[in-house]
A and B are shown apart, each in its own frame.
Chain A
Amino acid sequence: MANEKDDRYEQEPMDHKDAQLEVERKKNTGGDRHLTDDNGVKVSNTETTLRAGKRGPLVYEDVHFYRKQTAFNRERIPEKYYTSGTNRSLSGI
């Protein structure tokens, strides 16, 4: 289903910069779009990992899990609050 709230794709570019950015804008959801990996190959299962037997350990060749995880592991985390100097209290968050 189309995201009705997101009408950027139907709008005329506001200015030259916006026209330049418009080329990069991309939708992943809606219509009959399928989930793919970063090579554009359709993914049949993104919910569970591949294991050596149903009750066995994760296997290294589960590249979909591996790549998804490497992207997730590279999220930027804002530095935590802290105080320094004589107070030396524990971090706030």
Chain B
Amino acid sequence: MIEEEDATNYDFDILDDTKFWPEEVVPVETIGKMTLNRLMDNFFAEEEQSAFDPSSLVPGIDFTNDPVLQGRIFAYRDTKLYRQNSANINDIPVNRPINERNQNTRNSYQKHPIDTDPVHFHKNSLQENTPREASEEEGGFGHYPEKVEGHKSSEVPSDSFEDYFSQPRMFWNSLTTVEQKDLLETLTFHLQKVKSKSVREQNVNMWVNVDKDMATALAENLGVEPPTGSHVPVTESSEAISLANTQPSAFTKKVAVLIGNDFNDEEVEKTLSALKEEGAFVHIVSDQLGEVKGTNGTALQVTDTFLTTHPTLFDSLYVVGGISKNQQKFDDQVQEFINMQYKYFKPIGIATTGAKYLAKQDQEKLVGVVLAEGNSGFEEEFVAAVVKGRFWERQ
């Protein structure tokens, strides 16, 4: 949050919503908490018809003069008017407020309340001028009397609105090498689809403002001339920008357990409970739905099959292996999962029964692959690998 008197004390304009407020400059403050606590029952009734709108304000909140926000005040409601084909958007249960509503509006389709009042205008004598307005002291909404100066104008609010590259340069400076490489790949992915060589070249000459080396590498990937010029002279960075600086955790990470029959009951149970203890979501993946059984009779319900899921949907693998009716196909699928997870730098745990999926010579040198064979600390090591998330050293 920024105090009103500090509004112009930053090198970015707080009215410019294309700029971020670096956390080191304006520290994050928690002002509330929104809890997502259930899934919807009817997709159309509860999601498609829900109308989020920045102009739904409560007393104490008002708009800034951010030109994009100002446009959105109109745009969201207007979009909903079209999609619901009615002005009674807030009569739809998902949008209906908990508060009592007393209004003089009566028209438009999908009107739900059947208003029985003898009058529906303000002011009226027949109902003693009710519903009456509430003063701000009584809790009525009032706009903040912000001072407005100058002529009607279409000029940008300040010169810094046209500083397009200082913050992107700062963003680039703040990334780790892995993240920079990933961003270059993302740009390459999108721009390699662009048919016009001229547009590809213009993009390279735009990105050179952010980083010369990156734009030069991009030019090579796109088959265009290397850029002329160089990036803007910004050396600042912000730690909060890099995801590498977030606290890693296994909480809510998805782990696919690739498993068939005749697994080692004790070993698998220990690993699964170690994962669940850290809040990881464990999916039992096999070639058929139903149960898979351990040699001592422990039964696990299969939640996903090789056909219905995909390696990229998981944060990690726990390869148990086992016996299947179609062993060759089962083994091929396990191998495919391992290869793809490894390619995307994700941690892999290999149970004693899964060792056959890795060639002996690979077992030693693979990074982020934790083997249970002869390893009494397997569970902790594997959970630590899941917490870490990615093993960029594989690059």
Contact B148 A53 (CB under 8 A): yes
8 Å CB contact of B70 from A58, A73, A90: A58
Instruction: Kindly provide the distance from the CB of B189 to the nearest chain A CB, expressed in whole angstroms.
Output: 19
Q: Which of B40-48, B109-117, B126-134 contacts A (4 or more CB under 8 A)?
A: B40-48
Of all chain B residues, the one with the shortest Cβ separation from A45 is: B154
Which residues 81-103 in B have Cβ within 8 Å of A in the complex? 82
Q: How far is the CB of B94 from chain A (nearest CB, A)?
A: 15
- State whether the Cβ of B136 lies closer than 8 Å to any Cβ in chain A: no
Pick the interface stretch among B71-79, B209-217, B295-303, B351-359: B71-79
Q: Which residue of B lies closest to A58 (CB)?
A: B70
Q: Are A53 and B149 in contact (CB under 8 A)?
A: yes
Q: Give residues of chain B (115-149) contacting chain A, Cβ–Cβ below 8 Å.
A: 148-149
Query: What is the minimal beta-carbon distance from A51 to any residue of chain B, in angstroms?
Result: 6
Interface residue? A54 (CB, 8 A): yes
Chain A residues whose C-beta falls within 8 Å of the C-beta of B223 in the assembled complex = none
Q: How far apart sit A38 and B7, CA to CA, in the bound complex (Å)? A: 39
Q: How far is the CA of A59 from the CA of B150 in the complex (A)?
A: 13
Q: Which chain A residues numbered 24 to 59 have a C-beta less than 8 Å away from chain B?
A: 45, 48-59
Q: Is the CB of B151 within 8 A of A53?
A: yes
Instruction: List which B1-17 residues lie within 8 A (CB) of chain A.
Output: 15
For A65, give its contact among B71, B151, B153, B155 (CB under 8 Å).
B71
What number of residue pairs across chains A and B have CB atoms under 8 A from each other? 82
Report yes or no: B152 in contact with A49, Cβ–Cβ below 8 A. no
A70 within 8 A of B: yes
Contact yes or no, B153 A53, CB < 8 A = yes
Nearest opposing residue in chain B for A49, CB measure: B67
What is the bound-complex CA distance between A48 and B152, given in angstroms? Answer: 12
- For residue A82, CB closer than 8 A to chain B, the reply is yes
Min CB–CB distance B45 → chain A (angstroms): 12
CB contacts (< 8 Å) of B154 on chain A: these are 45, 48-51
CA distance A82 to B46 in the complex (A): 12
Complex alpha-carbon distance, A59 and B151, angstroms: 12
The answer on a CB contact under 8 Å between B79 and A73 is: yes
Interface residues of B (CB under 8 A from A): 15, 39-41, 43, 47-48, 63, 65, 67, 70-71, 73-75, 78-79, 82, 148-158
**Is the pair A56, B65 in contact by a Cβ cutoff of 8 Å?**
yes
**Interface readout for A50-92 with B: 1 if CB under 8 Å, 0 if not?**
1111111111000001100110111000011010100011110
Q: Are B155 and A58 in contact (CB under 8 A)?
A: no
CB distance from B19 to the nearest CB of A (A): 15
Tell me the minimal C-beta distance from A54 to chain B in angstroms: 5
Residue of B nearest to A89 (CB): B39
Say how far B149's CB is from chain A's closest CB, in angstroms.
5
A31 to B65: give the CA distance in the assembly, Å.
38
Query: Would A55 and B71 be within 8 Å (CB), given that A49-B154, A73-B82 are in contact?
Result: no
B158 and A51 contact, CB distance less than 8 A: no
Chain B residues in 8 Å Cβ range of A49: 67, 70-71, 154
| 9 A-B pairs whose Cβ atoms sit less than 8 Å apart in the complex | A49-B67, A49-B70, A52-B148, A54-B150, A56-B149, A65-B71, A74-B82, A79-B48, A80-B48
Q: Bound state CA distance, A55 and B15, in angstroms?
A: 8
Q: Does A56 lie within 8 Å of B150, measured CB to CB?
A: yes
Question: In the complex, what distance in Å separates the CA atom of A90 from the CA atom of B106?
Answer: 36
> A82: which B residues are within 8 A, CB to CB?
43, 47
CA distance A66 to B41 in the complex (A): 36
* A57/B152 contact (C-beta < 8 A), A66-B74, A70-B78, A91-B47 known: no
Residues of B within 8 A of A90 (CB): 39
Residue contact A50 to B153, C-beta cutoff 8 Å: yes
